[in-house]
Amino acid sequence: MSSREVIENVQADLFAIQDLAYRDFQAKLMPTVNKETVIGVRTPSLRAYAKKFGKTDNVSAFLEVLPHKYYEENNLHGLLIEQIKAYPSCIAALDRFLPYIDNWATCDMIALRTVKNHLDIFIQEVCRWIASDHPYIVRFGIGMLMRYYLDEQFKPEYPKKVAEVKSDEYYVNMMRAWYFATALAKQYDQIIPYLEEKRLDTWTHNKTIQKAIESYRITPEQKIYLRTLRVKK
């Protein structure tokens, strides 16, 4: 089967599980995505399809075709990368795919099981992505830092890298705020100086406090203190 035939079959399969109401809802959440490229497939259904499709001989042909036409094809691409067991192949597939991500949802849904056994070297890729000029590659890198390096793997230089990111992109700075809010819950003593000493830009600073106050993982006492650290614009 040719790559074109594989893509056409995948598109037909995705339209077969389309939910138009969900499409309209999802499209409103992604202003950077053309609604005409959103099919409307619920995430559980897409994950089930990815699991089934991942067992076929057509995965390589699908992954070779970029860019994709539909939002759900991009999400499927990310879910198939999750299934790659060989670490070098996983990173290579990511590097090929990441430049084509054009929205926060595709960026944030990718969870890499393969890297859990390679966190000592994966951090090199994470730092490389954070230094990218592509907003969604930067967001992805910060997301990986948040997902895998806030517990036992945490080092004080990691939040410094996120603080040093300079961007006017909303979806980059929102991820920076999400990172610091999550980091407050896990590494409070290491992170609170970033707010006390105003090391972040005002928008990210205040958004971090907002998201931390909304979190159930932050204590009531911490929330009271965080409110005193808000910066007036």
> For 180-221, how does the pLDDT look when each residue is reduced to its tens digit (9 = 90+)?
999 999 999 999 999 999 999 999 999 999 999 999 999 999
Position 114 scores a pLDDT of 94
CA distance 156 to 150: 10
| Average pLDDT for the chain | 97
pLDDT grade for 233, boundaries at 50, 70 and 90? confident
Position 1 scores a pLDDT of 81
98 neighbors 136 (Cβ within 8 angstroms): yes
Note whether 98 and 123 are same-domain residues: no
CA distance 144 to 215: 20
Note whether 163 and 196 are same-domain residues: yes
The parent domain of residue 98 ranges over 1-111
Note whether 37 and 59 are same-domain residues: yes
pLDDT (tens digit, 9 = 90+) per residue, 16-29?
Answer: 999 999 999 999 99
Count of residues making up the chain: 233
Note whether 68 and 170 are same-domain residues: no
